[in-house]
Amino acid sequence: MATKIKIHDKISIKAIHPVIGAEVSGVDLSQELDTEIIRSIREAWYEYGLLLFRNQRISGDDQLRFASNFGPIAERHKPKPGANIKEVGEAPDWVNLMLVTDKKDEDGKPVGGLGHGEMWFHSDKCYHERPHRASFLYGIEIPKQGGHTKFSSLYGAYDNMRGELKEKLAEARVMQGYDYRNVERLDLNIDLDNIFHFSQPLIVTNPGSKRKALYVSRLNSMWIEGMIRDESEQILSELFDLTEDQNNYYEHIWQPGDLMMWDNLACLHARTDWPKDQTRMLRRCTTLGEPLG
């Protein structure tokens, strides 16, 4: 990926994969950053969809301050009363900073959310009218093996769609939902009143990069609106495979102190499993995006 953007002379930006992501160096996120540096980071984020900052020592407040440069900080949506939260457990109360962890306190209660183990590709909060646009995930405790995060390019997936499908689905909408399962398609007969769900455009033109992205994921996308179920399932299966093609994603091996920042309209993310006797802890905040129309 050739860099067309003008980079501030204090920082450097280097691609980490042929289709997605770049590492940014020369930035200390524990400090307030000047507007020109933020502008360069924003342009790099539009261009690469995913940015990695290594060796950061930041508090929750530092993380929120940095994130707030990219949009209003999003607040928690509490699970609906009928939601299935058995698999992940009820996370303790939080407002805008969530611990993504399988750690438990002395009484065996989870200290954060999203539990243990593999999680399929998804896009944060794509099932709300205003999906969360930027996600910021900070590595605190990392297992010795596994617990990686895969980031898949939705631009790459769109570019690799058959021309016939691009035409057929140009105006299509897809029902996005979530029922707190990590590695299972949503039950297509589920009562929608019990889960968060929202009908979104299937192809989204990213407001930052102006590139088209294929806005589907195996964990969240239920059906293509107005299409008979068999055809919808067949097409979604082909589209999921495009997003998950091994040439279309970067797999990040975490180190404590890594901060990853990504655009949920440009990429999906997934996590790999790790041994049951090891724990993992990351800290997340997100910014609220605009409705997609």
Residue number of the CB atom closest to Fe ion: 124
Tell me how far, at minimum, the Cβ of 227 lies from Fe ion, in Å: 27
Q: Tokens for 120?
A: 């399929």
Rounded CA separation 21/19 (Å) = 7
- The residue among 146, 207, 151, 138 whose CA lies nearest residue 21 is 151
Nearer to Fe ion, 113 or 156 (CB): 113
9: Cβ–Cβ under 8 A, 6 or more apart, which residues? Answer: none
Nearer to Fe ion, 43 or 124 (CB): 124
Interaction of residue 263 with Fe ion, rule CB under 5 A: no
Enumerate residues 115-144 that contact Fe ion by CB under 5 A: 124
Rounded CA separation 239/157 (Å) = 8
Strand, coil or helix: 70:
helix
Nearer to Fe ion, 217 or 248 (CB): 217
DSSP β-bridge partners for residue 260: 52, 137
Tell me how far, at minimum, the Cβ of 137 lies from Fe ion, in Å: 8
Nearer to Fe ion, 37 or 139 (CB): 139
What character string, x for contact with Fe ion (CB under 5 A) and - otherwise, covers 77-116?
A: ----------------------------------------
Tell me how far, at minimum, the Cβ of 273 lies from Fe ion, in Å: 16
Tell me how far, at minimum, the Cβ of 60 lies from Fe ion, in Å: 18
The region that residue 222 occupies, defined by phi over 0 for left and psi between -120 and 50 for alpha, beta otherwise, is alpha
Tell me how far, at minimum, the Cβ of 216 lies from Fe ion, in Å: 15
Nearer to Fe ion, 124 or 179 (CB): 124
Tell me how far, at minimum, the Cβ of 18 lies from Fe ion, in Å: 23
- Provide the 8-state DSSP code for 43: H
Continuous segment of H or E residues that includes residue 41: helix 35-48
> Which residues of this chain interact with Fe ion, rule CB under 5 A?
124
